[in-house]
Amino acid sequence: KIMKEAQLILGGGCFWCLDAVYREVPGVLECTSGYAGGARPNPNYEQICTGATGHAEVVKLRFDAEQISLERLLEIFFTIHDPTTLNRQGADTGTQYRSVVFCGDAEQRAAVTAFIADLTQARVFDDAIVTEISDAVPFFDAEEYHQDYFRRNPGQGYCRMVVSPKVAKYRKLFGPGA
């Protein structure tokens, strides 16, 4: 079987949450936490936390499009974060926590646009979806300690209170037997 490798960059609040979920998704070959959408080259965590660089906390997914569709990845994305809150997810506020999809090409942009239009038409959310749809931009890997953060720090407070419930929601709705 020939693998059809593709890439998608998603921002939906703290990257620890997205990273923890997408590492469990069959067909996702690699999940890297990082920064995208800002003006400064090679930003670090402290810089993006100020909001001054304009970067969002994101995950870059490499996936096998023969094993998992872009639509399924988006379905998971729109289930595990709130796409109706501008520049915030829960208590995390600032542009670095914005809901955003960085599209690799026109075909991906069209698919993301259509997916959001379908969610809007179906009135899946009470409020308007504010997810930004952006063209591809430079992606910068986050520091090593941010990679696979949830698995390496399960007892950390934020992981217990914020990340763990999102992972549980993913498993309930999309896991084996769901």
Long-range Cβ contact pairs of 105-109 (< 8 A, separation 24 or more)? 105/136, 108/8, 108/70, 109/133, 109/135
Could you give the CA distance from residue 128 to residue 120 in angstroms, rounded to a whole number? Answer: 7
SS3 43: coil
Q: Which residue has the tokens 């009470």?
A: 126
Exposure of 2 by Cβ count < 10 A (0-12 exposed, 13-18 middle, 19+ buried)? exposed
SS3 (DSSP) at 104 = coil
Active site residue: 14, 17, 103, 159, which one? 14
> How far from chain centre, in Å, is Cα 175?
18
- 8, 108 Cβ separation under 8 angstroms: yes
Q: Is 122 helix (H, G, I), strand (E, B) or coil?
A: coil
159 belongs to the catalytic site: no
78 token code pair = 């729109």
Q: Which residues are catalytic, by number?
A: 14
